[in-house]
Structure 1
Amino acid sequence: MSGAWSGKTVTVPGGSGFLGSEVVKRLEAAGASVFVPRSRDYDLTTEDRVRAMYEDSSPDVVVHLAARVGGIGANQRSPGTFFYDNLQMGALLIEHARRRGLEKFVCVGTVCSYPKFAAVPFREDDLWSGYPEETNAPYGIAKKALLVQLQAYRQEFGMRGIYLIPVNLYGPRDNFDLESSHVIPALIRKCVEAAERGDDVIEVWGSGEPTREFLYVEDAADGIVAAAERYEDGEPVNLGTGREISIRDLAGLIAERTGFRGTFSWNAERPDGQPRRALDVSRARDGFGWTAKVPFEEGLEATIS
């Protein structure tokens, strides 16, 4: 990593979270002074607290990682909350960054913004080719609106904003709460607890047929910092590995590594979510020289341990 961060102040909303803590660690190691606004002190859906955050931190750069997130169940229960909070938070942060004339704004979006039936692998140019998968469309559309805002502000005001789209993340310190977690931590917890109890069967939502791509959290943090340092274009950029795996095969890998010897009961009455999900990652490689490094099985072992 170059000396580009030495003497810079970087504000990282969401910097105490699963991904954010890894990004903060890298920025600090590179010489940046990092300010992480805590949600108890700064409700970033309200304009006065966003203004206060900027006044208290006086950043050169913002890396916006804060989001209201959850699995399919959480998105189905609270679609309005997911839409409003993510849109409001991002829009206010970008607008006040513009007013203050920040050097750069880095916005981390979501793979949920892609159309439900986008051609695989997903290319950034396909973001607008259809409607997102229904169960998380409010979240995905709210996040995608921030790309529009950044591009509009670049055109009108010359604002330097970039937009990154990481695929599903996993790794140590993920959210293992079954009510709100994503598929890897949910399956790990279910398998570990079933193995401890000696259960023979685990119920899993959906058919097991959908595919997903997963990015180790440390790789994602490396990609975000590399883009913040070296990427200047207004076009969005995927962050991923390009490797696709079915949920059924994923469950088998996790069962092997957690000692669960039973079977999975696939509840096809529950939603599958998007049918397939895998990214074209050439723009990140060509645009700022980043590729993921951690093999999936190795990352899975680290997450389980």
Structure 2
Amino acid sequence: MIDLKNKKILVAGGNGFIGSHVCAALEKRGVLRERIVIPLPETHDLRVWEKCAGAVKGIDIVFDCAAVPGDILLRAKIPGQLFYENLIMGVHLVEAAFQEGVQKIITIGSATEYPESAPTPLKEIDLWNGLPSPGNIPYGLSKRIAALQGEMYRRQSGFHAIHVLLTNAYGPGERYESGYMVPSLIQKFLGAKERGEKEVEVWGTGNAVRDLIFADDAAEGILRAAEDYDDVSPLNLASGTGISIKELAELLSSITGFDGTVRWNTDKPEGDLKRLLDVTRAEQLIGFKAKTPLEEGLKKTIAWHNAQSSS
């Protein structure tokens, strides 16, 4: 087990959604704030090798939470740019960590890395059995390749690189401008209620199923993996429970107090029909199980959005 308290820790993407929750979880672990380094794009652009190499100097542990995110539409509009930027940041950081001789690097991946044809619930053993769905290739495959680089250095010299696969995370700090599902839906319902509208449009049929994990739980899983997991195989971090987009919309409508109807726009994309992760290995190997009930997590998230709109 690695004791993180006295380590100098780099959190790439530490000002982003997941990265900020990882930083908060580290501080709760007793890591002093001055021992947590967050590389800023203005001074340490991870796409530039020299800047990335400089960022890891003197670092013990690296959390790679950095990403250029993209919703369904953006992935279709600029897939090459998204693939390149996520890939170059990932491989630079793994390479820099290896050359610096850091004690461990934790690369944060996504359930979108899984093959389109993989059976559900998604199991780590199936990760390399095909390509992600076309819309998920720019992000998912770039993350998968950076993880493979860490695996190759583990084979070469015993380098401690691990890769975790995160399901759809949600929670305070994720802004609706990101285009991701939960904050976008929250803003739709809150906005409709505020304007007195009686209808909210949601893309797709509502039949797609997603596995949602509260950001605080996700950060806890990432830290436990850093402390206790050291294996070449990736590790799923998820709730292990699926909810349809229709059920999610109904729950958000109830929590926000929206009393109108939902119109499903079936001409718009809805992504993979079912994305549910198997969490058996995380429970067995690091004792991790998401603890925040969905409704409780959504209430906290909506409260954060309300506070942002009133500030």
TM range (shorter): over 0.9
Identity among equivalent positions (%) equals 40
Aligned to 2:56: 54
Aligned partners of 1:68 and 1:230: how far apart in 2?
28
Cα offset, 1:3, TM superposition: 8.0
Aligned to 1:97: 97
Secondary structure of the structure 2 residue equivalent to 1:162: strand
Secondary structure of the structure 2 residue equivalent to 1:120: coil
Instruction: List gaps (5 residues or longer) in structure 1.
Output: none
Alignment check: 8 A CA contact 1:76 1:136 kept? no
Aligned partners of 1:30 and 1:3: how far apart in 2?
12
Which residue, 34, 42, 45 being the options, matches 1:43?
45
Alignment check: 8 A CA contact 2:2 2:227 kept? no
Aligned partners of 2:2 and 2:50: how far apart in 1?
34
Aligned partners of 2:217 and 2:179: how far apart in 1?
20
Aligned partners of 1:26 and 1:264: how far apart in 2?
37
Which residue, 291, 298, 304 being the options, matches 2:302?
304
Aligned partners of 1:29 and 1:249: how far apart in 2?
34
Which residue, 215, 220, 244 being the options, matches 2:242?
244
Q: What are the equivalent positions in structure 2 for 1:65-84 lying under 5 Å apart?
A: 65-84=65-84
Alignment check: 8 A CA contact 1:10 1:59 kept? yes
Secondary structure of the structure 2 residue equivalent to 1:260: coil
Runs of 4 or more, structure 1, over 4 Å off, are none
Alignment check: 8 A CA contact 1:117 1:275 kept? no
Aligned to 2:23: 24
1:15 aligned partner, one-letter code: G
1:35 aligned partner, one-letter code: V
Matched, 1:174 2:174: yes
1:37 aligned partner, one-letter code: P
Cα offset, 1:278, TM superposition: 0.6
Aligned Cα root-mean-square deviation (Å): 1.3
Aligned to 2:193: 195
Aligned partners of 2:136 and 2:75: how far apart in 1?
6
Aligned partners of 1:208 and 1:29: how far apart in 2?
38
2:129 aligned partner, one-letter code: S
Aligned partners of 1:90 and 1:34: how far apart in 2?
19
Alignment check: 8 A CA contact 2:2 2:228 kept? no
Aligned partners of 2:218 and 2:103: how far apart in 1?
22
TM-score under structure 2 length normalisation: 0.93
> What are the superposed Cα offsets for residues 54-100 of structure 1, whole Å, 9 maximum, x if unpaired?
23xx1011011000112212212221111001110010110111111
TM-score under structure 1 length normalisation: 0.95
Cα offset, 1:40, TM superposition: 1.9
Aligned to 1:148: 148
1:47 aligned partner, one-letter code: W
